[in-house]
């Protein structure tokens, strides 16, 4: 079979890879739709994770199960499934304290197991299928479902960390596809006012579609003043960082906007040897609560199937994120190129395989 393999910084190629053997708790999945992520672009550019070198990359996909190990209980050949972006180790004892996702020994980019690779591949081995794969309900399309792996898993996990109470005001910095899902997730958690920050016409439209009550353009003026003008000077209850740019700027803006006692959660990756620098006075010199955290996408079948239930029940439709829709395995390189060129029509490139 063929897979898209990271060779070195700046170089990934399609090459023949061995068909993985399926262990007793595993499943083999043939991807039917994959999505392309900015972190793929970054990973290829930098090869920043040494364990990923020589591995197939890609981490957002839906597919069809083609084979299952003898101890797999709930999946069988023919099932439509979501492949997770974060592959947690559900056999780690810390999984029992809700920390499975921090132990990614089965993750494509981190596993020492050579059989384990990413989703840009004709076949993908899913370790511990009963715990990691998510069954797609009939009423949910592949295009909708492929957004669950990472876009919903990240955006909704981010919103969970905001600890939103009914009617509270949330700010979402950045309305790329994860930020848009953050907006939707905040609305579905009961936020009142949701102020999004972004500038591209299509994403501004989508932000409103998903529940933003206001959208502020960071190109027009200072974000903090624009938002304070909207709220009459009132601080936000919570802020989601889903933006790019300079990390300390983003955290500082978020901390300025958040109320004392408020929550700031970051769903963006900021790579390299950077530090985040936050003026202490925004924390009242260290002696007052503002709760700040990074956020990792939620993992595991239970979580992903609950996100799929939201789509199935009509609470959210992520299909408008799919832009452009490419076709065939060649679409992977095409999509990566569009992202590298920061093509203005790209929201989330997906590739239909068959």
287-346: which residues touch a second copy (CB under 8 A)?
287-296, 300-303, 305-310, 312-315
Q: Between 66 and 231, whose beta carbon lies closer to a second copy?
A: 231
Q: Is the dihedral of CA 311, 118, 23, 17 positive or negative?
A: positive
Q: Between 278 and 323, whose beta carbon lies closer to a second copy?
A: 278
Q: Which of 67, 226, 259, 334 binds a second copy (CB under 8 A)?
A: 259
- Shortest CB 232 distance to a second copy, Å: 12
268 near a second copy (CB under 8 A): yes
109 near a second copy (CB under 8 A): no
Q: Which of 160, 205, 317, 334 binds a second copy (CB under 8 A)?
A: 160
Exposed / middle / buried, residue 179 (Cβ in 10 Å: 0-12, 13-18, 19+): buried
Q: Which stretch binds a second copy (CB under 8 A): 11-19, 108-116, 118-126, 164-172?
A: 164-172
Q: Which of 1, 9, 10, 74 binds a second copy (CB under 8 A)?
A: 74
Q: Any residues with CB less than 8 A from the CB of 126 and at least 6 apart, and which?
A: 26, 27, 28, 29, 81, 83, 132, 133
Compute the half-sphere exposure of residue 132: CA atoms within 13 Å on the CB side of its CA. 32
C-alpha span between 203 and 179 (Å, rounded): 10
C-alpha span between 101 and 236 (Å, rounded): 29
Nearest Cα residue to 90 out of 304, 255, 336, 320: 304
- Shortest CB 66 distance to a second copy, Å: 21
Q: Which of 267, 322, 347, 350 binds a second copy (CB under 8 A)?
A: 267
Q: Any residues with CB less than 8 A from the CB of 246 and at least 6 apart, and which?
A: none
Q: Between 171 and 187, whose beta carbon lies closer to a second copy?
A: 187
- Shortest CB 280 distance to a second copy, Å: 5
Q: How many residues bind a second copy (CB under 8 A)?
A: 81
Q: Which of 98, 232, 233, 344 binds a second copy (CB under 8 A)?
A: 98
- Shortest CB 98 distance to a second copy, Å: 7
Conformation bin of residue 99: beta by default, left when phi > 0, alpha when psi is -120 to 50 = alpha
Q: Which stretch binds a second copy (CB under 8 A): 8-16, 114-122, 272-280, 333-341?
A: 272-280
Q: Which of 46, 274, 327, 343 binds a second copy (CB under 8 A)?
A: 274
Q: Which of 6, 43, 173, 247 binds a second copy (CB under 8 A)?
A: 247
Helix (H, G, I), strand (E, B) or coil at 98: coil
Helix (H, G, I), strand (E, B) or coil at 177: helix
273 near a second copy (CB under 8 A): yes
286 near a second copy (CB under 8 A): yes
Distance (Å) of CA 219 to CA 198, 216, 226? 8, 9, 11
Q: Between 193 and 348, whose beta carbon lies closer to a second copy?
A: 193
Q: Which of 40, 79, 142, 168 binds a second copy (CB under 8 A)?
A: 168
Compute the half-sphere exposure of residue 127: CA atoms within 13 Å on the CB side of its CA. 20
Exposed / middle / buried, residue 81 (Cβ in 10 Å: 0-12, 13-18, 19+): buried
Footprint of a second copy on 12-71 (CB under 8 A)? none
Q: Between 172 and 308, whose beta carbon lies closer to a second copy?
A: 308
Footprint of a second copy on 217-236 (CB under 8 A)? none
Footprint of a second copy on 179-198 (CB under 8 A)? 185, 187-190, 192-194
- Shortest CB 294 distance to a second copy, Å: 4
DSSP track, 174-242: --SHHHHHHHHHHHTTT-S-EEEE---HHHHHHHHHHT-SEEE-TTTS-HHHHHHHHHTTPPEEEEEE-
C-alpha span between 170 and 160 (Å, rounded): 12
Q: Is the dihedral of CA 153, 294, 55, 75 positive or negative?
A: negative
């Amino acid at each position: 079979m063929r897979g898209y393999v990271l060779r070195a910084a700046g170089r990934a190629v399609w090459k023949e890879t061995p068909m993985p053997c399926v262990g007793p708790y595993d499943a083999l999945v043939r991807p039917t739709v994959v999505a392309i992520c900015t972190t793929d672009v970054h990973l290829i550019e930098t090869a920043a994770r040494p364990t990923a070198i020589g591995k197939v990359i890609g981490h957002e996909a839906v597919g069809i199960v083609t084979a299952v190990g003898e101890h797999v209980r709930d999946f069988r050949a023919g099932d439509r499934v979501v492949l997770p972006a974060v592959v947690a180790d559900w056999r780690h004892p810390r999984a029992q304290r809700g920390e499975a996702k921090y132990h990614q020994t089965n993750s494509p980019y981190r596993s020492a197991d050579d059989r384990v690779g990413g989703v840009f591949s004709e076949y993908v081995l899913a370790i511990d299928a009963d715990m990691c794969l998510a069954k797609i309900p009939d009423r949910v399309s592949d295009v909708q479902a492929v957004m669950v792996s990472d876009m919903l898993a990240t955006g909704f996990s981010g919103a969970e960390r905001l600890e939103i109470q009914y009617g509270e005001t949330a700010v979402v910095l950045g309305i790329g596809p994860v930020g848009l899902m953050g907006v939707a997730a905040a609305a579905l958690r009961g936020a009142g006012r949701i102020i999004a920050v972004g500038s591209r016409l299509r994403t501004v439209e989508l932000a409103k579609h998903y529940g933003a009550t206001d959208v502020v353009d960071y190109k027009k003026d200072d974000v903090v003043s624009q938002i304070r003008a909207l709220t009459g000077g009132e601080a936000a209850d919570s802020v989601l960082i889903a933006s790019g740019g300079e990390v300390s700027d983003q955290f500082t803006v978020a901390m300025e906007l958040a109320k004392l006692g408020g929550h700031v959660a970051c769903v963006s990756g900021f790579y390299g040897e950077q530090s985040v620098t936050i003026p202490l006075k925004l924390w009242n010199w260290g002696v007052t609560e503002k709760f700040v955290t990074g956020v990792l996408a939620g993992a595991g079948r239970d979580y992903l199937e609950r996100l799929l239930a939201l789509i199935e029940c009509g609470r959210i439709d992520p299909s408008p994120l799919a832009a452009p829709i490419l076709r065939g395995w060649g679409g992977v390189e095409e999509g990566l190129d569009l992202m590298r060129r920061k093509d203005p029509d790209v929201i989330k490139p997906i590739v239909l395989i068959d």
